[in-house]
Amino acid sequence: MSEKSDAELAAALAEEQTFDYIIVGGGTAGSLLANRLSHGGKKRVLMVEAGRRDDYHWIHIPVGYLHCIGNPRTDWLYNTEPEPGLNGRSLRYPRGKTLGGCSSINGMIYMRGQARDYDHWAQLTGDDTWRWDNALAAFKYHEDHYKLDGDPSEVNANFKRFHGHHSQHKQYKLAVRKLGGEWRVEKQRLRWDILDAFAKAATQAGIPATDDFNTGDNEGVGYFEVNQKEGWRWNTAKAFLRPTCYGRPNFEMWTMAQVNRLVIEAHDDPTGQTRQRCTGVEVWSGYEMTVATARCEVILCAGAIGSPHILQRSGIGPGALLHQHGIPVLQDLPGVGANLQDHLQIRSVYKVNNVPTLNTLANSWLGKAKIGLEYAFKRTGPMSMAPSQLGAFTRSDPSQPHPNIEYHVQPLSLDAFGEPLHNFPAFTASVCNLNPTSRGTVQLKSPRMEDAPAIAPNYLSTPQDRQVAADSLRVTRRIVGQPALAGYKPEEWKPGVQFQTDEELAKLAGDIATTIFHPVGTTKMGRADDPMAVVDSRLKVRGVAGLRVVDAGVMPTITSGNTNSPVLMVAEKAAEWIVADNR
């Protein structure tokens, strides 16, 4: 056999490093896209994930979020800048750094949001494909809901709503190979007397009971549905990557591989004009820097913090910010890293009597042993718990046109996630403003990928948000004051009944509030005449061909609820568009 020349070896290596699609991020959106884009075997797909595989046992035990948040094995370990609205405090800002991304460390709550969220997106983008009815079809396409177990007709109905009646569509076999899609939704596997009492108190306070938060109008009180399967966390790596993608010869995955920057090249389009095109990514493997090339598209799925950070390091973002750090401006997009929105939860803690809570059950080695044995043999009990079990959606005051606050209620209390439980029986009623008007930023601090960006959510920076904060604390007090809880003698331990005025309560909110881990909006989609829009309604980056963003950053406004499953809906739609554009 003749030896290959250096040129031939270089060409062979370049071909090996060339793919049709490169997906940056193996998290919520990236996992679904990898599944959809590698289907059929015709396109070569690379997924690049900065974290490790999801083989850490605490990822899969529901209560293991306590061991994953703040753990470098699974978390980027971000912190916010000191926040004026939080009286100078800086918050821990968890983001998943492992396969499955935030779906591997989050609260597992399945929540679509409200119909008005998506109708508003359609209005902001001028694209009716984002309206609720269209979004709902995309949600249902990958949903595997326990309520539909044993009803195969629903699979075909969902398929037709999303794809029409084209039974030969490339995804048809995926849709009908089993009942439902890949994203499992189940009831929780435990209940608590104190939470049942809180739910009854909420109805006494005028909040209707509900067993379904996902109809498009989520007003009511009830137990959350969760992304679990038989007592285990169901993350997107299990749902969409394993085993489907792993067995496809056209799919390749690099883990512990961080994208340094996008490769942007100038090219002449058919009209003779010179335009920018993303042709690949520069990746640090831990040993060397390598370049992977994309024939069709690079798709950023690094999240509302990671994606704008990568764009900025690559010369795409606010010109003045890039100049400040010595980065050549390839595309001046002022919206990159702007428009950050998040749900800020205000955690009221109430001491109680004559009722068990997790504080009392887990305050001894015997109690811990009982909890562990129940989970080991039944997959039930506190170890199967999502961080929040009971939810409620209502209005912060009667003048609100729709439910604008959400409760996450827990049969436990602690100073912060990762801290020990208190040594007295208590429950926590956390309430968040679903539609904050405050807007923050994500901005690079240096051109180095090792340096975390400056995350400044700018919480409670508007009079409207401070008023909702004060009013929501009063709603909490009104619920807890109902007869259903009276037998447990609830005592407000935090913030404390001595605080009553709007000013006092807003300031107290700044003292005790923390993120509920829902950052969105930093690469928002919008109309062509919106100077702050980063991507169009089909998620293509403005002024740069071959590049899309598909993650929570594209949301122009935050959804009225937990954000993980809406990201999957966005990715489902994006997959259709990407395939259609690159046939």
Q: Which positions are annotated as active-site residues?
A: 518
Q: What's the rounded Cα separation, in Å, for the pair 45 and 169?
A: 20
Would you say how long the chain is, in residues? 583
**Residue-wise DSSP of 258-299:** EEEEEEEEEEE-TTS-EEEEEEEEEEE-SS-EEEEEEEEEEE
Distance CA 337, CA 345 (A): 22
- Cα–Cα nearest to 352, from 486, 498, 481, 512: 486
If you count DSSP H runs as helices and E runs as strands, how many of each does the chain have, helices first? 18, 25
**How far is CA 343 from each of CA 399, 502, 544, rounded to the nearest angstrom?**
21, 20, 31
Rounded CA-CA distance 386/516 in Å is 13
Minimal CA–CA distance to 582: which of 247, 294, 158, 185? 294
> Could you give the CA distance from residue 228 to residue 269 in angstroms, rounded to a whole number?
48
Distance CA 571, CA 581 (A): 15
256 in Cβ contact with 286 (< 8 Å): yes
Closest listed residue to residue 144, CA positions, set 192, 174, 93, 180 = 180
| Contact (Cβ atoms closer than 8 angstroms) between residue 326 and residue 47 | no
Nearest to 300 by CA among 137, 121, 101, 142: 101
Distance CA 499, CA 34 (A): 51
CA 416 to chain centre: 20
272 contacts 59 by C-beta, under 8 angstroms: no
